[in-house]
Structure formats: C-alpha cells, structure tokens
Amino acid sequence: MKIEFKNISKSFGETIANSEISFSIDGGSIHAIIGENGAGKSTLIKILSGQILPDDGSIKLGNKKMLLGSTIEATNKGIGILGQDPLDFSNFTVLESFLAGNKKSSKIISKSKFEEIISTFSKKFDWEINVNSLIKDLSVGQRQQLELIRLLYLGAKIIILDEPTSGFSLDQKKKVFENLRDLSSKGYTVILVSHKIEEILEICNKVTILQKGKLLETLDLPINPKILIDKMFGPSSNVKNDYKKIEKKSKKNITIKIDKYSDIEKITLNEGTIIGVSGLQGSGSDKFVQSFYDDLSSSKVYYENEVQIPFSEINYVASDRLEKGLFPDMTIMEHIALAYNSKGLINWSNILELTKSLINTYGIVGTPQTQAKNLSGGNQQRLMLALIKENIRLLLLEQPTRGLDISSAIFVWESLLKTKSKKNLVIFSSVDLYEIYDYSDFIICFYDNKIVASGHKNEMARAKVMEKISGK
Amino acid sequence: MYKIILQNSIATFLSVISVTIVLLILQVMPFEIYGNLFDGSFGSLDKISRTLLIATIMALAGFALVVTFSTGLWNIGIEGQMLFGAIGATFIARTFLAEYFFAPIIIIIFGTLFGSFLGLLSAILKTRFNVHEIFGGLGINFVASGLIVYLVIGPWKREGIASTGGTDLFPKSSWINGIGDSNFPIYPIIIAIIVFITLFILLSRTSLGLKLIATGTNKDAADKFKIDSVKHILYAFIIAGAIGGIAGAIQAASIHHKLVPNIAGGYGFLGILIALIAGRNLFTVVVISIIFASIMVGGVQLQLRLGLDSSFPYIIESVFVMSWLIIKASKIDSKLLMLLVNKETDFG
Amino acid sequence: MDSLELTVITIVAMSAPLIFAVIGETITERVGVVNLSMEGTLLITALTGFAITIWTDSLYLGILSSALIGGFIAFIIVWINFRFYINQIAVGFIFTIFLWKLSSYLGGDFVRIPGPYLNKITIPILSEIPFLGPIFFDNNILVLSSIILIPLSWFFLFRTNLGVNLRAVGENPIAADARGLSVMKYRFIYSVIGGILIGIGGATFSLEVKYGWSEGHTLNYGWIALAIVIFGGWNPVRASVGVYGFGILQVLSLKLQSVTIGLSQILPLIPFPLMILTLVLIQSANKNEGRWFPKPIRLLIFGNQPQSLGITYKKDS
C-alpha cells in the first residue's frame, strides 16, 4: 500500500520538528529515512504510527486518508513500529509482553499456543528467546527481536524500523534483512530509519533525506555512498577555532584514560586542547563525554604527575537543557545563586548585580526574574554557559549547539573560546561534522559505543571521519 | 503581587460558592453556618485564644508539609511526627526535669528531637529503600499510634488503671499556659512565629533552602549543580519532622496536659490539606490555618446552637480545598480576573 | 461444630469486606490508578448499603447502591485526574476526609438502628461437610462471592487477554498506547470496577460483619486495605492471604481483650509495619542486595509495583 505524506508540520513550543513534509513511499518497497539528530525523523514516524498528532497535513494510505493522532487507527491499518528502545513492559514475562494489546489472542490466554508461535518465529531467525523470562532480563537486541516477531505475527503491513539493528549481531542482521526483503516482495512496506549508510545501501530501494525538519530530497538507490554522506550532513557554521593558533608555547600535558572504549589505554594532549567527539545519534559519543562526570572511577583525566582533576573542577553541560541542565521553574537569578553562592546565606543584592552583568555578558534575552522554562533554547544555552565558574579545569559539553539556530550556535562557541581559561580542557560531543572541524583540535570518532579512530585535526581527513562514524 | 492577591481572592470566593452549594445540597443554611462559625471562633477573647492555639498547631503542621513539598515530596508522616513529639514531651514530663520552671523549654526541645527522628525514618525509607513516601508515611503514622497506645496502657499507665484515657496529668510546672489568667496562647504563637521566620529565611535567603527547592524541581539538574539530592531530602524530612514534633509537644503540654492516644487530633491531616492550597507559600499557610482553625473551633458552636454534626468543619474544609485545586488547575481564577480587568479598561 | 471450625468460619465471614476492598484496589492499582479514598469510600458505602436497605427493605438494592456509589467515586477521582491533571493522591486524600465526615453527618439518623442482615443460603447435606460445608454451602451470598472473587480476579488479571492489557496500561501507558490500547478507557473502566468492588465491600461491612451503622463504622479498614494491597504484591491471591491473616489477628485481639485491652488495640496495626517491610523487600529485590533470597521465597514475598502507579498520564501531542 502506498503511503503519501502531505504537508506534515509539527512544532513543539519553539522547536519546529517537521515543516511541510511531503513525499510518498511505494507499497512493497523498503524505504529509508535518514537525517542527522534533530532532523525530524522520529517525529515523522511517530506521526505515522499515531503517537503524535501533527499540527497540519495529512497522510494517505492507498487512496484513503488516515485518521491522525490515533494509535488505534494506526494499528488497525496495519502499521507497526519497532523502536530503538522497544516499547514493552519490563516487569512482564516475554509471553505477557507479547500478548499485551494483541488482538489475535483469544480471550483466555492459551500459553502453549503462543509459546509455539514465538519459538517458531525465533527458530526462523535463529534467535533464542525464552518465553518465561522477564523482559527486564532480556538484552535490548532480544527485546527488539520479540517486538519484530509480534509485529509480523499481528500481520503489520507497514513495518517501521527505528534504528533497529544496534542490538543484532551481524549474522542475525543478515537473517532479518533477508526476511525484510522477502516481506517486501510479498507486498509489505518496510520503513527503515537509520544512520547506518551501509545498511541502507544494502537493502533499501529509496531513501528520503530530512534536514532540520524539512524534506531535502528522495533518492533512488543504489547511489554512490559519498554523495549520500555529503547530503546527510547539513550546512556549516561560520566561526572557526583560530583562537588556538595564537598560543602554542609552554603547555603542560594532560592525560585522558580511555581504555574502557578503546584498545588504546590513554591519550596525552596539551592543556587547553578542545576535543571533539564525533559520532551519530546513539553511537555512544554523548555517554563517553558524560562518563567524565558520572563515572570518575573509570573515565579519568590526569594532570602531569598523575594528579586527577578533582570533581569540583569539572563542569558538565547537558544537551537536554530543561530536562537535565536547568530547573524549569526557577529564575535566572536563582540559578546564578545556586552556582555562585553555594554556602550559607544568600546575599540577593549581590546576586542580582552578578546576574545582571552575566545577562549582559552572555546576551541572554530575559530578566533576572525570568524562569528558565520561559527562555528560548538559545538563551537557555547561554544561561548554561553563564553558570560555568572560572575555576573549571575540565569542561564537558554534550551536543553544545543542538537545536540552536546558527547565530546562537556561533555565539555559544565565541563565548566558549573567549571565556575559557587557557588551562582547561574541553571535551564536546557533536553530530555535526562541521562543528567538530571548526572548533576542535583533537578528534575522537565513535561508532557502536567504541572509539573507532582518533587523532589531531590535521591528521584526520574529513572523508575518513565521515566513513568511520557511519560504520564503513 | 497585587495580581496574585486578586487572583487568590477570586479563587477563594469561587471556592466558598461551591462550599455553599454543597451545604445547600446537604439541606443546611449556609449563611447561618458561616455566621455561627465566625461568632464561635472570634466572638470572645476566650474563643479567639482557642482559635489561635489550634491555628498555631495547624500552621506548624502546614509548615512541616511545605518543607518537604519544596523537595517535591509529601510528608504524609506528619501525624506520626506529631505523635512522636507528644511522646517526647511526655517523656520529659515524667522525669524530675518537669518540676523546674524551664520544663516547657525542654519539653519543646525533646518534642522537636523525637519528631525529627521520625522524619528521618521516612526519609531513609524513601532514599535508601525507595519506598514511596505516601505509603511509608501512612505506615509510620499507624506504627506511631500503636506505640502511643502501648505507652498509655503499658509503661506509662496511670496508677492502677490501664485505660486508653491517657497518662497522668503532667506536673503544672511543665504546662505551657496562656498569658496571665487568660488562655491566650502567647507562647505557642511565639514558637510558631520563630518557626515561620526561620523557615522563611531558610527557603528564601539561604543556599540550603535554594538547594532543597532545586532538588524538588529537577533531580538531574541538581546533579549537574553538584547538589546531593539524597542528603537534601534527608534534611527536609528532619526539619519537617522537627516542626511536626513541636506541634505535638504543644498539643501535649498546652491542650491535653497528658498523653492521649489521639493526641494529634487529625490536625496533621488538615495540615496536608492546608499545604495542598499553599504550595510553597508560608504566608498562605498562616492565612489558611487561621481560617481552618476558626472553622474547627466555630464548629463547636454549630453543634451547640444548630445541633449540627461535628463533621461539618471537615466537610467545609475538604470541599473548599477540592474546589480550590480545580479552580487553580483550570485557571478559572486568572481567566475571570482578565475578564474583569478588561471590562474596566473598556469602561475607562 | 467444634471451636476451631467456628473460628475459621468467623474469620472467613468477617474478612469478606476486606476481600472485596483489597481486590477492588488491587485491580485499580494494576491499571495505574491509586484510589487513596478507600477509607472514605468504605464508610460512605457502608452507610449507603445499610440506609438503602432500610428504606427499600431490599438487601439487594442496598448492595447495588453501595456498588454504584463506590464506582461513582472512583470515576470522579479518575476524571479529575484526566481533566485537570490534579494528582490522584491529593484528590484521594481530600475525598477520604470528605466522605468520612459526610458519612458521619448523613449517618446521624441511622446510628444504632437494629439493622437487616443477609440470610444464609443453606444447601442440605453438603452443608454438613466439616469446614467446607459451613463455608461454601451454608453461608450468605456476600461471603460466598468474596471467596469466589479471589480465584476469579486472579484468573482475570493473569490468565486473560483483557487482564494482560489492563496490567500493560498500569506498567507502561506509553507502550500500551502505542499498541492501540486506550489508556483513558482502561483507567476509567477498571478503576470504576475496582470502585464498585470497594463499594460492595462497604455494604458487606454494614450488612454482614458489623450490622448497622455507627460513626466511623469501618474504622481504619480503608487504610488497612491499602496496606494489604501492597503486602499482597498487587496479587489478589496473596492479598487475600493477607486479609485472612489480618482476620486471625482480629480474632486473637478479640480473645485477648479480656486479658489486656492494650494488645487488642495494637494487633490490628500489624499490617502497617508489614506493608513497609514488603515495600522495602520489593525494592531491594530489584537491586542486587535481594539476590541472596532463594528463588521460591523471592517469588513468594516480592511483587512488582505497577510502574506507572499514581502517575498522571498525558498523551503527548
């Protein structure tokens, strides 16, 4: 059945997730949707599966318009979604999770029947799933396998796979792909949302590229992988990291322990280095950056003489600003007080002065009394920068410009480069290759939770980095 | 500020209307009730004194809730903390210390300590064992009430009689009395004012208070600010328990002058209702406590004059709180305010 | 009948209200809703059952109206939660106080009126069987249905597709929604069914256990029921074991009343520390420290709290 998206638009507050997206997916094909983080892929498929109601637009299945925003409609129309983190029930047994919402089950559960169904499917794919174990004891891969079995059993005619294969081994993946091809030849439509270029090239008939919420284009496959990679990574920003070149003398060494992620035990760099961790969504690059804050026993940064940088001199800036970085209901002033007045009585008039000057310095659009939730994304990020204290030696930034418009992104980097003391070390992750190349001195490439390459910027050719992070 | 007061006045007015409707449904005369409530609670110095004493206890219970609400948690264990405060007070009243003139001070101190112990217990269940504070708090309340029954009929029973009527009266020197010959509750009021000021400074002028609130709004962000949320939850419950303990000690030393099984008198639960309205606002706690206390004390007159059941104060209060929450959640008050303000400008 | 047999029959009979209430709340919580108003609901429905029976002279109309009131209260709590996003616990708490006091006002006229009660349905011959006979074949309809309800509700929750679906909603509403289950519909329907059972529990109390009405008639039973639901690990069978265990405690405290008043007042409070202990055990079982328990014991004492229990569901749009 042909799926036709028409002018789909959806925004969350200020963020535009989808903007007038129109394209169609042929029945019986395997169609890929790609795009970098924040391009609007997951919003789009959640709209198709009824989990999100779009602000505008329509979807046609065959000749019929679909009722949007209803998962009941979507499941009735045979749309099944298999997510990166499967939507299942951690306290249920495999059998129960398989049966929840299962319209093909009889009123009274027939245990033996479904055990047989699950094991037949498992055998077909060479999977091992014990029907009596609890979902929470399964690996993510097994949960995805179970979910796929469920969708196929339910007779989903349109199967959406959202970053599905991270949990499968190579052999298992082959079997799944074989089956997907087989299904599409029988008229099933498969939609694959993925970052993995090789997978897309291997099995898909067409690919739609999204960029910043908009449709870039839909291409027929196969195609030269280089073209695809180039199209996937968006336009560049303008400020360059030339700050570095001015100072080069008498640098002390800093050592980073990375043995948990790589065969190499450690990297030794000059202080003042900016490390860019490049990797696509879900590659583990964000977790790597975070581990220097959360997991001090395994991710360590040493000064010369093996002195570890103390926790008090580490600052971590989360990318989910309102969820993890700021207090939505608290004012700018209260944030400043928390960061700069961490003991005893608070002298609010001093804090007010400090807040005013920081608002000025960082160009935050807001008053000292503005609540964090009422700031725009760019201003929230500016506030996060304003909260970084001077004595910080290790600055960790997770996707520092995610969701920001270009001018905010440039500002963020300008002020980072300006205010950052020459003595500290910056580690940031980004899905934006241009950002990595513009601002870092040293590049680490992540793929599948492992460091796949690392080196100084001049040693790392852009083409190589692109291939590495795409798993080629 | 001006706008908030106006908005709250509208919400209060609307809530009173819905209370009136419920009273009409129950076939009683609302205005007769309101009149009697006012007269019964503020009609004489004696009545005012009683109203203020009850208001003090309710406000303390409300304060105890506000502290944990700051960290985003319920302090359902408030009744138990009050009971423990009363146990602490009785413990001192039964020693030689009760004979001295400074006995009331020690009684309050021990009430505070006992109450904070129970607060700590709730917090440990929450942070260490991840027991939901509602169920943990409820359980602790009943355990505390079991302990009181045990004490009253067991080790602390009156000479020769084991009844649930209470322990022996405390020595007179340990009573917290009114001012002069009246029963105007000057000391409880002073204590409540001290607690109010301390909490006000704590929550709005200290970094500890700000951290409590930060923990309550976003634990993940607190972690990024290097705030230890577990530690701050413990602090909040210890402070809340201490305040509950004070309330219980006052109940024992100022009202009953002995330990009785239901010494908390349900004021802890009313404190929860008060805090549901007040949120984190200490001043609102005081206002609502005085209103609720006048309803409770005036309620006695309803029984005497109108022959109404003693349950009416609670019915009025619970309907009031429910209406208030719905009005606030549906933003009827701010919409109405906008409407009124716009009309004025139209005419102007 | 010997005294042991008599005791067992007494325990089964006096536990009937709690069985209804506990199973009603278990179903409610399994779908992710906390009906904290139990104490108030039991009181008001105990009064309703008794009052309607006196007015209409029909026990069945009395029971029916209690059931309807119980269901209606649950409906309102869920409605307020879905309509205004006010916390279920706050609403339940307010309702507890409101209904409790409302019952003592409305019940004023019914205090100590000698009340009607249910007759036993006696089946000849079968009722002569020791133990089982008097329980199953010489008992009134409420006690009998309370016993039947235990396996029935268990079967429904764990062996039927609807049961799995309703638990799925309580575990992970987002996932349930993605599978086309309407979270709102499930929460409304099964909270109301749970409320109906709690209502029947209230009626059972005034028509079967403690005939008639007095102020605070079902004293603390609502809170005890809440504790036993947790003790039962959200499983009707285990919860019922808890109810009967509580029944034994009550009989004991009645017998001990002549010896010492104290114990008789303290024994009924035992479910509460047990509730806390259960919660502690459940939580530690999920962490590593619980692993040292042998597996069968772990299965016996641990249960899983529905993951979305008490959490307001807002479909993201």
Nearest to A325 among B206, B214, B224 (CB): B224
- Give the three-class secondary structure for B79: helix
- Provide the pLDDT for residue A336: 94
- Give the three-class secondary structure for A220: strand
Residues B196-223: what's their mean pLDDT? Answer: 92
User: Encoding tokens for residue C303?
Assistant: 């249960």
C43 touches chain B (CB under 8 A): no
Give bridge partners of residue A58 from the DSSP assignment.
A6
Q: Which of C154, C155, C159, C164 to mutate to test the interface with A (most CBs of A within 10 A)?
A: C164
Q: Which residues of A are less than 8 Å from C176 in CB distance?
A: 100-101
Q: Taking 70 as the threshold, does the pLDDT of residue B284 lie above it?
A: yes
User: Encoding tokens for residue A171?
Assistant: 């052999």
Q: Taking 70 as the threshold, does the pLDDT of residue B207 lie above it?
A: yes
Question: In A224-329, which residue ranges form alpha helices assigned H by DSSP?
Answer: 225-232, 243-246, 285-294
Residues B284-307: what's their mean pLDDT? Answer: 90
Residue C126 to residue A298: CA distance in whole angstroms: 72
A458 touches chain B (CB under 8 A): no
Over the Cα atoms of chain C, what is R_g?
20
Residue C231 to residue A368: CA distance in whole angstroms: 50
Task: Give A326-371 pLDDT, tens digit per residue.
Answer: 998 899 999 999 998 878 899 999 999 999 999 998 888 889 999 9
B325 touches chain C (CB under 8 A): yes
Cβ pair B214:A312 closer than 8 A: no
CA C137 to chain centre: 24
- Provide the shortest C-alpha distance from residue A325 to chain C (in Å): 22
B131 touches chain C (CB under 8 A): yes
- Provide the pLDDT for residue B214: 93
User: Encoding tokens for residue A398?
Assistant: 């997770």
Question: Which residue of chain C comes nearest to A71, CA vs CA?
Answer: C180
CA distances from C250 to A111, B275, C129 (A): 40, 36, 26
Give bridge partners of residue A267 from the DSSP assignment.
A256
For residues B244 and B64, the answer to whether their CB atoms sit within 8 Å is yes
- Provide the pLDDT for residue A43: 87
Half-sphere exposure of C152 (CA within 13 A, CB side): 10
Q: Which helix (H) or strand (E) holds A454?
A: strand A450-456
Q: Which helix (H) or strand (E) holds B209?
A: helix B207-217
Nearest to A87 among C160, C174, C307 (CB): C174
C133-161: buried (b, 16+ CB within 10 Å) or exposed (e) per residue?
A: bbbbbbbbebbbbbbebbeebbebbeebb
Question: Which residue of chain B comes nearest to C86, CA vs CA?
Answer: B329
User: Encoding tokens for residue A351?
Assistant: 């804090």
C175 touches chain A (CB under 8 A): yes
Q: Which of A45, A72, A98, A104 to mutate to test the interface with C (most CBs of C within 10 A)?
A: A72
- Provide the shortest C-alpha distance from residue B10 to chain C (in Å): 19
Task: Give A366-388 pLDDT, tens digit per residue.
Answer: 899 999 988 877 888 889 988 88
Q: A14-18, A218-222, A420-424, B279-283 — which one is most confidently predicted on average?
A: B279-283
Question: Which residue of chain A comes nearest to B211, CA vs CA?
Answer: A338
Q: Which residues of A are less than 8 Å from B226 in CB distance?
A: 311-312
C309 touches chain A (CB under 8 A): no
Strand A274-278 relative to strand A425-430, pairing: parallel
Give partners of B (≥3 CB pairs < 8 A): A, C
Cβ pair C89:B131 closer than 8 A: no
Q: Which residues of B are less than 8 Å from A293 in CB distance?
A: 224
Q: Which residue has the tokens 């903007």?
A: A19
Domains recognised in chain C with CATH numbers: 3-301 (1.10.3470)
Q: Which residues of B are less than 8 Å from A396 in CB distance?
A: none
- Provide the pLDDT for residue B346: 47
Nearest to C283 among B129, B141, B329 (CB): B129
Cβ pair C164:A52 closer than 8 A: no
Q: A32-36, A52-56, A235-239 — which one is most confidently predicted on average?
A: A52-56
Cβ pair A71:C168 closer than 8 A: no
DSSP class of residue C268 equals G
Over the Cα atoms of chain A, what is R_g?
25
Q: Which of A55, A66, A81, A102 to mutate to test the interface with C (most CBs of C within 10 A)?
A: A102
A49 touches chain C (CB under 8 A): yes
- Provide the pLDDT for residue B305: 84
CATH architecture of B2-23+32-338: Orthogonal Bundle (1.10)
B21 touches chain C (CB under 8 A): no
Q: Which helix (H) or strand (E) holds C52?
A: helix C38-56
C256 touches chain B (CB under 8 A): no
ipTM greater than cut 0.85: yes
Question: Which residue of chain A comes nearest to C161, CA vs CA?
Answer: A107
**Local confidence pLDDT in tens for the 317 residues of chain C:** 567 888 888 898 889 999 999 999 999 999 999 999 999 999 999 999 999 999 998 899 999 999 999 999 999 999 999 999 999 999 999 999 999 999 999 988 888 787 777 777 777 777 777 777 777 777 788 998 999 999 999 999 999 999 999 999 999 999 998 888 999 999 999 999 999 999 999 999 998 888 888 887 877 889 989 989 988 889 999 999 999 988 888 888 777 766 666 667 777 788 888 888 877 877 776 665 555 566 666 655 666 788 888 888 887 64
Read off the amino acid at residue A254. Answer: I
Cβ pair B326:C86 closer than 8 A: yes
CA distances from C294 to A131, A132, B319, C207 (A): 22, 18, 50, 44
Strands ordered across the beta sheet of A307-308: A266-270, A253-257, A301-303, A307-308
Pairwise pLDDT comparison (C296 vs A149), residue with the higher score: A149
B301-324: buried (b, 16+ CB within 10 Å) or exposed (e) per residue?
A: bbeeeeebbebbbbbbbbbbbbbb
A72 touches chain C (CB under 8 A): yes
Give bridge partners of residue A398 from the DSSP assignment.
A429
- Provide the shortest C-alpha distance from residue B216 to chain A (in Å): 9
- Provide the shortest C-alpha distance from residue A355 to chain B (in Å): 16
Give partners of A (≥3 CB pairs < 8 A): B, C
